Amino acid sequence: MSAAPALRLCGRAAINGAVIFGPLSLDVPAGEWTCLLGPSGVGKSTLLRLLGGIADEVAFEGTTTPGGDSAPLAGRIALMAQHDLLMPWLDAVANVTLGARLRGEVAERDRAIALLERVGLADHAAKRPNALSGGQRQRVALARTLMEDRPVVLLDEPFAALDARSRARVQDLAAELLAGRTVLHVTHDAAEAARLGRNVLLMQRTGITRIEVPKTHTPRRFDAPETLAFQGQLLRLLMASQ
């Protein structure tokens, strides 16, 4: 994996003439986990897709650049979406190696199996998605993200569909396995941002605000007083935001 760059986006976005966001500025520090929190409809996912280069329907006036080096972002980004997007006719190993095979590259089956072992699915490598629980499917998606070995990882609410127990476990696992990468995590969940965010940004129609975070290691304990207090602060900000 190459060195993780910072992310910078400045500008405004519209779809079919309707303004989605902006003008605004986004700065994501290199090698850290940043949560982008905000109410529905302010353009968080659109912003993420612009950074990922998959927003062809969006008219964007501005710039998206890495910080700290001059190399383009293309080819350095992996995306993990809210839905696991596993191919139902493929087993876990084949789903993990899907990116390489779509690019016409040799699929590294041994490495895929090793990654499934890291996410606790060594005994499920030959199973298809319909034989896996929701939490297991998201762990396969996490292994697929790691298989891409990109220094920048964009997360679009990847834990939202999980029950509370599975969500906490997969959050902890993702925080461990994505350490050192530049992670931008879009979420509606104040509790999730309070646990995971080394940096927390609040996106509103008027722009993006950086929120001061507790001086504790992430992922923070979900029941720690400072985590619960921070969660409450973020929820208040969300309820007051537009």
Residue 166, number of CB atoms within 10 A of its CB: 18
Residue 63: φ, ψ to 5°? -135, 145
What is the reported pLDDT for 67?
66
Residue 91: φ, ψ to 5°? -80, 180
Average pLDDT score, the chain: 90
Is the whole-model pTM more than 0.85? yes
Closest by CA position to 116, among listed 88, 90, 144: 144
Question: What kind of fold does domain 6-76+151-240 have according to CATH?
Answer: Rossmann fold (3.40.50)
Question: Average pLDDT in the 36-40 region?
Answer: 91
Place of tokens 């998201």: 138
Tens digit of pLDDT for each residue in 187-201?
A: 989 999 999 999 999
Q: At what angle do helices 134-148 and 109-118 cross, to 10 degrees?
A: 130
Per residue, the 3-state secondary structure of 172-189, as one string, reads HHHHHHCCCCEEEEEECC
Domain boundaries, the chain: 6-76+151-240, 88-149
Question: Which residues share a beta bridge with 186?
Answer: 36, 156
